[in-house]
Structures are given as structure tokens and as C-alpha cells.
Amino acid sequence: MRYIEEFRDGKLAAKLEQDLVREAARLARAITLMEVCGTHTMSIYRHGLRSMFPENVKMVSGPGCPVCVTPVGYVDMAIELARTPGVIITTFGDMMRVPGTSSALQKERGAGKDVRVVYTALDALTVAANNKNNEVVFLGVGFETTAPSIASTIIMAKKLGITNFSVLCAHKVMPEPMEALTSGQLKLDGYMCPAHVSAIIGEEGYRPIAGKYGVPCVITGFEPLDILRGVIMLVRQVADGRAEVENEYNRVVLPEGNRKAQAILADVFVKSSAVWRGLGPIPDSGLAIAPKYEAYDAAKKFGIVEPPSRENPACVCGEILKGLKGPQDCPLFGKACVPENPIGACMVSSEGTCAAHYRYGAGALAHA
């Protein structure tokens, strides 16, 4: 589609780089900005944007890769279900290699368990309709971008009277960890807010971060020109001494977000505390299935609870997800921990900071 091509225009990018240099020259000190979303991280690396950022503008990666932050204990629960006779596990493909304590779904499939990759949650419902003698469990992982589609699928299951379908729910929401990070150790000067999470939640969710903590927030698209504009808007806010929620991605994100999707989320889910791989528990950062839909809650249906997570003590992913360290600070990075055999959260998904750094990072090391 033409907009994708045009938002990658190299000539415009070179011009925006000049604008960025000019804005950065107005800064009184070096600043640190965080791109929260794993898809931003990937786009920044893939398009070599880090090398275009001025010396006094440092970008760090945040905890916004939903697969990466899914805790070991959740994967262990999914594996327990995969080993339960008669259960078919359905999942998005990027969950397959995520390591649990002693296995991964891919290994379970190799061992003959029925684990199926689907493109959309509705496909999992079709699997349930076609396999009435089995229990079909969908692994519900993802932020506000993904959660409405799983919520819609649960509504659809109820409407169609499909009773052999349930969701093992680990959905998370984005503003809460951002607020937790803002009030923590890392002194951030601005947030590049996730594009498609914002398509659902709009600008509202970030107001406390800008208002209460004085950290500028700019909702930014994923194309290279979007990202450059987003950084310019953040640097400009810092240089002006402002802290506001601005929307670079207004061709997709409405100020109020997607009201219908918000209503579907509010119908199917309730806010809950959630454990983030590398970050630990954060209050109100998760979505649990509401009591009225509990027949579709796999944890309740099968009576399983999430075991405590045990992570490799040498792994520094927790610090990386908080923006305090980079992949090059980890003793496992590129040695014991590689994309083919991920140990830590950030290497698990192709959108993780370590995976992006491993794949595209050589040229970006100077600014990392």
C-alpha cells in the first residue's frame, strides 16, 4: 500500500534527521527516551534509525513485547494443559519457542502433543467446533491491541454455544508498567507510546504519566518517518519544558481510541495483578476473564494455578526491560542465549530487545 512506501521515503528521513539534530541542540543536557513497544524496537533496529539519533538523545527499549514478558509459570501451565489427555492447545506462533521451566510448546508438539498455531483467535474457535470431543484451549497473550480480538472470540463462543473452548488468559495492559517504570530507578525524559495499543486505548491512558510525573508521551506509528517524527516531538517537548500527550499517529489513533473495542474489553475482562517476566508483579496490569464468562477461563475450567516463576539468575532481562541495562551488559547474550536457544525474555520473541540487537545490533552498538 502506498502509505507504507511513502512513510519510508529516504529523502524525507534525511530531512527529519536534520530537524532532529536542530531540536536536540536546544537541549540543556543529554536525555533518555524509551520506546515501550517491541515493534518500535524492531523497527528502530531494522531501519538503522539508532544511528540517526544525536549523541545527546539516547533511546532505551521497554517492556512492550508481550511474548517476552509472559512469565515462565504461564508457559508451565500451558505445557501442563498440552500434556492433559484430550486437550488441543491453540496459540499464536510466537509463543511456541518461549521457554518454560523445563520445556517449551514446540518441544511438546515434537513429543506428539496436539499444539496448533492459528492466525487469529477465531480460528481456534473453528478448531473447537470441528473437534467436539476435545477441549480446545487458546493461549491469550498480548496487550490492548490483541486482547479485544480474544474478548470478541469469547463473546462469539458464548453466542454460538461452543462449550469445549476456553482461554488461558495472560493479557496485560500497557500504561500501568509505564507508570511503574516512571516512578522507579530509571529517570526517563519521554515515552514513545505504542502505536496499536493506542489505537485501542487512545490518549487518555497516558495522561497520568504526562500529568503526574511530568514525562512527555508521544503516540508514534511504526514506519521510519513516524519514529523520526515521534522522537522530534519528544525532544521538542523536553526542550520547551512541556510534558503532554501528543499523537504523531493520528491517521490511525483517535484521541478517544476505539470505544467499541474498549466496551468489549470491559465486558469480558476485569483488571488484575499480573506477573511480568523480568519485572515481577505489577498491580492492575493484567486482564482476567470476568465472572460472567468464567466458563471460558481455562485456569478455572481445569483447576490449575500459575506456579512461581524461576528465571536464570545470570540473565539481566529484568534490568533491560526497565531500561537500566543493554543486551551487551548480559553475560549470556550471544553466547548461551541466542535466538535459536533463548534463555531470557528479551531473546524469546523476534521483537525482544536482545533478539533485535543480536540480529541488527552491530552498527547500533555505538549508541546503545
Give burial (CB, 10 Å; 0-12/13-18/19+) of 129: middle
Q: State the Cα–Cα distance between residues 330 and 347, nearest whole angstrom.
A: 12
Pairing state of beta strands 269-276 and 280-289?
A: antiparallel
In angstroms, what is the minimal distance from the CB of 355 to other proteins? 13
User: Which residues have a Cβ under 8 Å from the Cβ of 240 and sit 6 or more positions away?
Assistant: none
List residues near other proteins by CB under 8 A: 1, 3-4, 6-7, 11-12, 15-16, 18-19, 37-39, 64-67, 92, 94, 119-123, 142-143, 145-146, 148-149, 152, 155-156, 194-197, 199-200, 222, 225, 229, 250-254, 258, 260-261, 264, 349, 351
Cα 130 to Cα 123, 136, 212, 293: the distances in Å are 11, 10, 51, 22
Pick the closer one to other proteins by CB: 24 or 253.
Answer: 253
Pick the closer one to other proteins by CB: 18 or 130.
Answer: 18
In angstroms, what is the minimal distance from the CB of 78 to other proteins? 16
Q: State the Cα–Cα distance between residues 95 and 7, nearest whole angstrom.
A: 30
In angstroms, what is the minimal distance from the CB of 336 to other proteins? 25
Pick the closer one to other proteins by CB: 15 or 26.
Answer: 15
Pick the closer one to other proteins by CB: 194 or 344.
Answer: 194
The number of C-alpha atoms within 13 Å of 113 and in the hemisphere containing its C-beta is: 24
Q: Which of 365, 171, 361, 127 is nearest to 285 (CA)?
A: 171
Contact 99, 72 (CB under 8 A): yes
Pick the closer one to other proteins by CB: 49 or 264.
Answer: 264
In angstroms, what is the minimal distance from the CB of 29 to other proteins? 27
Pick the closer one to other proteins by CB: 60 or 67.
Answer: 67
In angstroms, what is the minimal distance from the CB of 191 to other proteins? 15
In angstroms, what is the minimal distance from the CB of 24 to other proteins? 17
